[in-house]
Structure 1
Amino acid sequence: MRLRVATYNIRKCVGLDWRRKPERVIGVIDDLGADVVALQEADKRFGKRLAALSHAHLTDTAWTPAPLALHDGGIGWHGNAILVREGVEIEATHRIELPTLEPRGAVAADLVVNGQRLRVVGAHLGLTGGMRVRQAHRIVAALGELEPRPTVIMGDMNNWQQATGCIAVFAERYHLVPPQPTFHATRPVAALDRLAVSEDVEVLEQGVLREGAARRASDHLPLWADLKVKGSILAAVAAVATGAA
């Protein structure tokens, strides 16, 4: 059973026209056709750090934010949020403190998507190489402390190299999806947004949304991937039940 995930740095909903348009960002997210979307820069960086894409904006949409915020005005943590489409079950959420000189963190949600258990991790790593390496090690270590589960790690890794630094850290334990340029949206040349999966997750297809409002809604383009969880017990049970019916 195929499921689609995506990662998108929404730049606090400020587009290349320097206008803050949450509805435009929601339109791009809808265009992805994803089941789960990890967002970066989903909140404002000053004051109370309220969500740039808020619960109010998501009302009457197909999207529900995983409960990660520590205050009523947000949908995520340290700018990271995870949205799930209707029908996706959220079993648990996790916040991962990252070593940094500025507020940074990663988030995770344990989900059931189309009968398949999946852990989705969203991250936005720092601006310096050494700090990104430390942050990647922390994410890997934190995931190792949780109950094993098919996992996808995705987000804005801020790494211009294809296989060094923090990317090499993730590659020690996870399969790195081949990089695709997502930055800058006007002329994408850098694969800053990356995706990695555990060995029990198969990547069927991947791509970057380059059409329509995605070209101007943010300075990043969204990256998506179609996945299959290998040997999913829930999927097998669902198939048997369907056949019996």
Structure 2
Amino acid sequence: MKLRLMTYNVHRCVGTDRKLDVERVAEVIAAENADVVALQELDVRRARTRGVDQAHRLAELLKMRSHFHPAMTVEEELYGDAILTALPEKKVKADGLPLYPRIPGLEPRGAIWITVDVGGTPVQIINTHLGLVPQEQKRQAAALLGEQWMAHEDWKAPGILLGDFNASPYSATYRLLRTVLRDAQGRSASWTRTPTATFPSSFPFMRIDHVFLTKGLETVAVRSPYGSLARAASDHLPLVVDLEISPAGDPAGSATGDRPSGGAARA
């Protein structure tokens, strides 16, 4: 069974040309025909983006359903992340992630977890957007590996953690996540190509948007659209990953198991 994913930081649907254009972002997403779309930096009812519920509007344009989690709330205005899909799905959890208390005023961060049904196989998917400070990133990554998220009894392989991690493959945050999960762009029997960068969209050389996998999933293809529309629509390019879901009982994927151990989450 195949599953196509996209993770995309849409920068409030404000492009590199400083134009607010939700429809343009929808056009970039639609061109890739993904089954599941994980979005970061969405505005909902915010004055700075004309009060539009961007999660709802994008889902409407793409004929998908959306689950939105506001990482930040200011009165009626919301800002956060969403997962869009047309597959059968249910939301499992949406919550905030820990901050780094030694640095006040950091932007709140969160994650959203849904289960999608892919041809009768439940697949767990968590979308997140981690902070900019390495110390907070590592706390947030550890929380995601912990008992409230991927060490929870409801988390069972196959599972996917994706989003904007603000962390390169050389970072401590990335290394922590790799103790439990496999980078979809990492070399494997099914994928041997050079990894694709997504930031900044005008000249992408940084790999901070990631898709991490448990066992039971194999990378078939990875790409990042680099046409003029995608370069203008946001400061990130989308990352699109095609996966093969292994039959039940097949240990393919080489990640460590159904759930992380508590020790890994405390690393």
Give the drift of 1:177: 2.2
Distance of aligned partners of 1:68 and 1:79 in 2 relative to their CA distance in 1, 3 Å threshold: closer
Q: Number of aligned residue pairs: give it.
A: 227
Tell me, yes or no, if the aligned pair for 1:5 and 1:37 is still in contact at 8 Å.
yes
Percent identity over the alignment?
30
1:129 and 2:130 equivalent?
no
**SS at structure 1 position matched to 2:215:** coil
- Structure 1 gaps of 5+ residues are 234-245
Give the drift of 1:146: 3.6
Tell me, yes or no, if the aligned pair for 2:110 and 2:128 is still in contact at 8 Å.
yes
- Structure 2 gaps of 5+ residues are 100-105, 186-194, 250-267
Which residue number in structure 2 is paired with residue 155 of structure 1? 163
Distance of aligned partners of 1:90 and 1:51 in 2 relative to their CA distance in 1, 3 Å threshold: farther
Which residue number in structure 2 is paired with residue 62 of structure 1? 63
1:120 and 2:117 equivalent?
no
Which residue number in structure 2 is paired with residue 12 of structure 1? 12
Q: Which portions of structure 1, spanning 4 or more consecutive aligned residues, are displaced by more than 3 angstroms?
A: 44-52, 67-71
Which residue number in structure 1 is paired with residue 179 of structure 2? 172
**SS at structure 1 position matched to 2:126:** strand
**SS at structure 1 position matched to 2:25:** helix
Give the drift of 1:17: 1.2
Tell me, yes or no, if the aligned pair for 1:99 and 1:134 is still in contact at 8 Å.
yes
Which residue number in structure 1 is paired with residue 33 of structure 2? 33
**SS at structure 2 position matched to 1:152:** strand
TM-score where L is the length of structure 1: 0.83
Which residue number in structure 1 is paired with residue 213 of structure 2? 197
- Tell me how far apart the structure 1 counterparts of residues 175 and 2 of structure 2 sit (CA, whole Å): 28
- Tell me how far apart the structure 2 counterparts of residues 68 and 217 of structure 1 sit (CA, whole Å): 22
User: What is the RMSD of the two structures over their aligned residues, measured on CA atoms?
Assistant: 2.6
Which residue number in structure 2 is paired with residue 241 of structure 1? none
TM-score where L is the length of structure 2: 0.77
Which residue number in structure 2 is paired with residue 228 of structure 1? 244
- Tell me how far apart the structure 2 counterparts of residues 226 and 36 of structure 1 sit (CA, whole Å): 11
Tell me, yes or no, if the aligned pair for 2:45 and 2:53 is still in contact at 8 Å.
no
Which residue number in structure 1 is paired with residue 94 of structure 2? 95
Which residue number in structure 1 is paired with residue 232 of structure 2? 216
Distance of aligned partners of 1:51 and 1:114 in 2 relative to their CA distance in 1, 3 Å threshold: farther
**SS at structure 1 position matched to 2:26:** helix
